[in-house]
Amino acid sequence: MQRERRYALRPMTQERLFPLPDLSGRLAVLGGQPRDRTELCLSLALRQARQHGVVVCLDAHGRQQLEMPFRLLLREDAAYIPLPAEGAVSDDIAQQALRILQAGLGTTPSLPPLLIIDGAQETPDWERTLTFFLRTGTVVVELLSHPARLVFGRYETTLLLRAAGAEAEAISQTVGRKVTPENLAALQPGEGYFIHLAQVYRVRFPERP
């Protein structure tokens, strides 16, 4: 029932713009240029920190535009953990993330910890680790490198960012044409299409200070 309340939004009418709702479970992100993805990560992290929640970001791209705000603005409320370029998540990194996320479960029971992942290598061991995180109540947001990685049944929700051309066509096809390539190309900075079950909403990201 709690999850239903979180997503109790009316379907968009004539492209009505909704605020991005609170998240739960596992969310996949498709599309977007590096700047769009960075802005989304920072928006989610800052919203989490303002609510005194714990957030961890695993990033294989080494983006200073993402790392510096995490380290300077969010401070103890967040953790930025760089991954190697190939995206391998070692046992040490997984344990480091687990320690931080578990602390969040103990201090803010009403607000689940948030794990943001960009570029992590998909392996059976890492998938089992993510399953464990989800069972503890952690919200997992994964920025996928390609629409083909959107495995049916794995993700409860999907967020689509700006895309054009062949990428927009591939994303539209992957999500069952719930959003057209033209819709994706027309998105403005800081906007996306949020798909939960059969419902689609055009949303804006949380505002940054």
10 Å CB burial of residue 55 (0-12, 13-18, 19+) is buried
Tokens 């380290």, residue located = 71
Distances (CA, A) of 206 to 42, 110, 135, 142: 9, 19, 26, 17
Task: Indicate if 40 and 139 belong to the same structural domain.
Answer: yes
Contact by Cβ (8 Å): 55, 77: yes
Task: Indicate if 51 and 131 belong to the same structural domain.
Answer: yes
Q: Is residue 19 part of a domain?
A: no
Cα separation, 5 vs 170, whole angstroms: 31
Average pLDDT over residues 147-156: 90
Task: Indicate if 70 and 120 belong to the same structural domain.
Answer: yes
Average pLDDT over residues 115-133: 94
β-strand partners of 28: 142, 158
Task: Indicate if 186 and 129 belong to the same structural domain.
Answer: no
pLDDT at 9 over 70: no
Number of domains comprising the chain: 2
Cα separation, 153 vs 132, whole angstroms: 17
> Domain of 65?
25-144
Task: Indicate if 202 and 107 belong to the same structural domain.
Answer: no
Q: Is residue 123 part of a domain?
A: yes
pLDDT of amino acid 106: 64
Task: Indicate if 30 and 74 belong to the same structural domain.
Answer: yes
Task: Indicate if 101 and 173 belong to the same structural domain.
Answer: no
Q: Is residue 158 part of a domain?
A: no
> Which domain-ending residue is among 97, 128, 144?
144
pLDDT of amino acid 94: 93
pLDDT of amino acid 105: 73
Q: Is residue 152 part of a domain?
A: no
CATH of the domain at 133: 3.40.50.300
Determine what percent of the chain is predicted with pLDDT higher than 90: 66
Task: Indicate if 57 and 110 belong to the same structural domain.
Answer: yes
Cα separation, 180 vs 167, whole angstroms: 12
Q: Is residue 15 part of a domain?
A: no
Average pLDDT over residues 183-198: 94
pLDDT of amino acid 196: 93
Q: Is residue 61 part of a domain?
A: yes
Task: Indicate if 122 and 31 belong to the same structural domain.
Answer: yes
Task: Indicate if 111 and 32 belong to the same structural domain.
Answer: yes
pTM over 0.85: yes
pLDDT of amino acid 50: 87
Q: Is residue 43 part of a domain?
A: yes
Q: Is residue 184 part of a domain?
A: yes
- Confidence class for position 21, pLDDT limits 50, 70, 90: very high
> Which domain-ending residue is among 144, 177, 196?
144
Task: Indicate if 75 and 131 belong to the same structural domain.
Answer: yes
Segment 62-118, tens digit of pLDDT: 888 888 888 777 766 568 999 998 999 999 999 999 988 887 776 656 689 999 999
Task: Indicate if 123 and 31 belong to the same structural domain.
Answer: yes
